[in-house]
């Protein structure tokens, strides 16, 4: 684990592979994995209240070690203040769009959301499509504020595969 610490954030567009990478890293590094989607969404896609969400994240990241996957840019700072490493899956929109469509129609869906089926609605598709132009600049700006955090940027699936192989 010399390359980075024990408090790892994984961020990126929907469909970039955040959860898949988190699970693989959790196995390789023997760290607990926290999926923010599972923590944020209650059954039937009911959101956790904003104040409760901030407190829940503060508690989650107060642990000694973790891998957290998910964006939730409105509360990104809560996790950045606690993290020692950020892995940003900075993938192109077509890769992410292909993944969310494939995931939606896969018969072997790895559900992360408790009681919530994978949704492919207009607002989610729009968010993924616009991620690089609307959300990405804010993430980059925020990451530049945290000089003490190791930042790993992976640009595509090939980079992600190579990153994982280097850890083995």
- The verdict on residue 1 lying in a domain is no
- The verdict on residue 79 lying in a domain is yes
- The verdict on residue 2 lying in a domain is no
Largest CA distance in the chain: 42
- The verdict on residue 88 lying in a domain is yes
Q: Give the residue among 18, 30, 27 at the shortest CA–CA distance from 96.
A: 18
Number of domains composing the chain: 1
- The verdict on residue 20 lying in a domain is yes
List the domain range (segments joined by +) for residue 101: 7-167
Report helix, strand or coil for 162.
helix
pLDDT tens for 11-68 read 999 999 999 999 999 999 999 999 998 888 777 777 888 889 889 999 999 999 999 9
- Between CA 38 and CA 58 the distance in angstroms is 16
pLDDT tens for 28-37 read 999 999 999 8
- The verdict on residue 29 lying in a domain is yes
Q: What is the CATH number of the domain that holds 141?
A: 3.40.50.300
- Measured from the Cβ of residue 154, the count of other Cβ atoms closer than 10 Å reads 22
Contact (Cβ atoms closer than 8 angstroms) between residue 88 and residue 151 = yes
pLDDT tens for 81-101 read 999 999 999 999 999 999 988
């Amino acid at each position: 684990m010399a390359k980075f610490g024990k408090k790892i954030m994984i961020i990126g567009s929907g469909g970039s592979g955040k959860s898949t990478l988190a699970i693989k890293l959790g196995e390789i590094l023997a760290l607990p994995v926290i999926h923010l989607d599972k923590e944020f969404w209650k059954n039937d896609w009911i959101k956790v209240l904003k104040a409760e969400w901030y407190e829940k994240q503060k508690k989650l990241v107060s642990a000694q070690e973790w891998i957290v996957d998910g964006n939730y840019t409105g509360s990104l700072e809560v996790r950045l203040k606690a993290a020692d490493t950020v892995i940003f899956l900075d993938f192109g929109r077509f890769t992410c769009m292909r993944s969310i469509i494939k995931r939606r129609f896969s018969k072997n869906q790895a559900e992360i959301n408790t009681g919530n089926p994978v949704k492919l609605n207009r607002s989610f598709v729009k968010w993924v499509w616009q991620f690089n132009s609307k959300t990405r600049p804010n993430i980059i700006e925020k990451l530049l504020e945290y000089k003490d955090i190791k930042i790993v940027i992976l640009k595509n699936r090939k980079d992600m595969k190579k990153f994982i192989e280097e850890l083995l």
